[in-house]
Chains A and B, each alone.
Chain A
Amino acid sequence: MSDIQQPAQTLPPNAPSGPPLPRSTKKEGKPASLWSDAWHDLRRRPIFIVSAILIAVLVVMALWPSLFTAIDPNDPRTCELATARQGPSGGHIFGRDNLGCDVYARSIYGAANSLLIGISTTLATSLIGGMFGLAAGYFGGVTDTLASRLTEIFFAIPSILGALLIAATFRGGPLSSITLVIIALTVLGWPMTYRIMRAAVITAKSQDFVVAAKALGAGHMRIMMRHLLPNALAPVIVIATINLGGFIAAEAALSFLGVGVTSPDISWGLMISDARNRFLDAPLPLIFPAVFLSITVLAFIMLGDAVRDALDPKLR
């Protein structure tokens, strides 16, 4: 038998040289490369394509609104009080609002603030919640207990009420109305991200590769940043995308209630609020920003859904 005895050998000569073995049967659908798999999966989802196109249009709209309209609503000369609440007419396809400003141009220009607030708040909540979640999940014990109790307090506050309180209290201070909205929404929004991150870290922490890193003498920072974070990121990204739509809606709600974005800044919520008293005789100035708002929120929620399905089929 000795002639076929093999010392521990190198790669089998006949092994395919390409990416070797996609694992054999359906049972072994092991982690694979999460991101490339997810991307592969996403590209085939109509819901992703629709939401991605919508969001792309919105982003372009926010960055270069003048591509969509020749009228600059920030220029007071474009408003004519005399034509207030005029219906659609040449050059003003959505008609004019209470102050005689063009509804279409204002709706286009409103995208920037909505996206700015949505994206900033999402980044801030992800950063704060993510950091706390990572630390609490990794260290456990007292750190975890304290952080978790703290988030429970925040969870207990009804969010709109809390945001109202923060925004109303600091109004008129040195901070711009937009910054204030971002802060208010961040303060109330981070515990959600915290929870998701903490749970994901606790799952990742129990895996053997973390033990292996400890056995090598890796420090806390290395374990958290190199090993835990990349493996816990997926659910946080999912929740961030879904929350983004929610924050945009929340901004509109705060502006509608008069504690959010204030004139002269443009916001869909503010437009809706301004138009509400004359809704019966002039519905268009309310309906158009509302439609923009709904489509934007929907686009992000759809995107979040698609990303979730692609990243974590188990959550479906």
Chain B
Amino acid sequence: MAPTSEPILEVRDLVKHFPLTQGIVVKRQIGAIKAVDGVSFDLHRGETLGIVGESGCGKSTLAKVLMALERPTSGSVKIKGREIAHARGGELKRMRRNIQMVMQDPYTSLNPRMTVGDIIGEPYDIHTEVAPRGDRRKKVQELLEVVGLNPDHINRYPHQFSGGQRQRIGIARGLALQPEIIVCDEPVSALDVSIQAQVINLLERLQDEFNLAYIFIAHDLSVVRHIADRVGVMYLGKLVELGKDTEVYDKPAHPYTQALLSAVPVPDPEGRELRERIILQGDPPSPANPPSGCRFRTRCWKAQEICAEEEPLLQIRPGTAHESACHFAETHDVVHIG
């Protein structure tokens, strides 16, 4: 799906710092967790952008800022040219109709005291202009059918459904307002393996049907490869690599991406002894106190002096066709044997 039009979502230099404070009565800021620290990308209609990274890289905070659940420290998020990051009140509410989310945990993301009909119908209660009161029940039943659930189950409670079915309910709620963008934050990682494929296939079908654009955030690189058109790799609050999925997966240029990809187990024992494994040493540094220059340099086998002094920008580097943020970017296929 090639980008055809103006981007539907534009993210520029997005920063989200959580202040670290000390003191009980008089709070004094002693530092900040730099959860998201300068992220820029575009998303086009009908496209899926995968965001991968390990825990603490800031990908979930990014989702919250995109959804305007957190206000960014600086930077901008524009939906169809209109700023959502600083919108308030009625304007923000209107903009929410265009961006919705699917959450990770199908158990805690549905209110256990509401029926499925009330859960999926809640968007219409909040945005009363979308559907006249009399149509709501019918709309909810249509949505249940769209996500592959029995429309007669409208009066059931979430606990009467399995994890996979609950995730479908969450997806139906996200679709209710007919948004053009859906932020999926780890939508399948809480599900059993045999159920994951059902939900992935559903998301793909819905994308085709409604021309949805997805931000698909996940730690599972295999799932992202399957569903994404473009992929961004995050490390300590920054995008270190961004490009078409085939570029990023088959010709990764950033050492972190290479290490990450090489660590993903492939469900095929054939030639497992020959597979290249880059084992990173240690843990990622704290986002409260990231290294100077390149944030990956403390674990990088290519690090030189320049890496500590100068921050590598995310840009197209010689010999690569997509953007990466490494002074020594060099493509190197790690997922295929030979």
Contacts and interface: CB of A to CB of B under 8 A. Distances in A.
Q: Specify whether A and B are partners.
A: yes
B148 A9 contact: yes
B96 A34 contact: no
B281 interface: no
Given A7-B201, A8-B198, A30-B159, A215 B108 contact: no
A174 interface: no
Nearest to B94: A217
A7 B205 contact: yes
A103 B212 CA distance: 78
B308 interface: no
B149 A209 contact: no
Given A208-B109, A216-B123, A21 B150 contact: no
A8 B149 CA distance: 11
Interface string B59-77: 0000000010100000000
Given A33-B159, A209-B108, A216 B198 contact: no
Nearest to B160: A19
Interface size on A, as a range, is 20 to 34
Interface string A1-22: 0000011111100000001110
A218 B126 contact: yes
Interface residues of B, number: 42
18 contacts: A7-B205, A10-B150, A31-B159, A33-B112, A33-B157, A207-B109, A208-B105, A208-B109, A212-B170, A213-B111, A213-B122, A215-B96, A216-B122, A216-B126, A217-B93, A218-B126, A219-B126, A230-B113
Nearest to A211: B69
Contacts of B150: 10-11
Given A8-B148, A19-B160, A20-B160, A212 B107 contact: no
Q: Give the secondary structure class of B's interface.
A: loop
Interface in B247-265: none
A278 interface: no
Contacts of A219: 126
A302 B97 CA distance: 50
A212 B160 contact: no
Contacts of A208: 103-105, 108-109
Interface string A208-244: 1101111111110010001100110000000000000
Contacts of A226: 111, 114, 122
B100 A216 contact: yes
B246 interface: no
B211 to A, nearest CB: 17
Chain A CB within 10 A, most for which of B111, B122, B149: B111
Contact of B103 (A7, A20, A211): A211
